[in-house]
Amino acid sequence: MNLYVGNLAYEVTDDDLKTAFQVHGEIQSARVIMDRYTGRSKGFGFVEMANNEQAQAAITALNGTQLSGRAITVNEARPKPQRDDRGPRGGGGGGRGGFGGGEKRRF
């Protein structure tokens, strides 16, 4: 089961997440999401646990507790929303191609 962990302090690492959650069961992966441009944490991450019982135990035990000075949010991760083929901003018209307008000059 995949868990969402929110309100993380910027200095929290993947290893910090793993350490906090491993008390409640087997961790398959723990990842803090980083901004690709700044390289800084986005303040949330995901922990994948081996089974649902362990994940529920982690949610119950850790939701609202302190990690690096901040009260974290822990709940079941929702599936990533589907994006259409037109990209993140949706479709849109194509604009006016070419160079147009203006007056024609005769020489």
> Residue 12 is part of a domain; what is its CATH number?
3.30.70.330
Q: Would you say residue 96 lies in a domain?
A: no
Specify the pTM: 0.75
Q: Would you say residue 102 lies in a domain?
A: no
> CA-CA distance, 102 to 62, in Å (whole number)?
66
Q: Is 90 left (phi over 0), alpha (psi -120 to 50) or beta?
A: left
Q: Would you say residue 40 lies in a domain?
A: yes
Number of Cβ within a 10 Å radius of residue 3: 23
Q: Would you say residue 107 lies in a domain?
A: no
What local confidence, expressed as pLDDT, does residue 79 receive? 87
What local confidence, expressed as pLDDT, does residue 82 receive? 83
What local confidence, expressed as pLDDT, does residue 105 receive? 63
Instruction: Please report, as a single letter, which amino acid is at residue 102.
Output: G
Q: Is 25 left (phi over 0), alpha (psi -120 to 50) or beta?
A: left
Q: What is the mean pLDDT of each run of 10 residues along the chain (107 residues)?
A: 97 97 96 96 97 96 97 94 66 56 61
What local confidence, expressed as pLDDT, does residue 93 receive? 55
Indicate the number of domains in the chain: 1
Domain that holds residue 22: 6-76
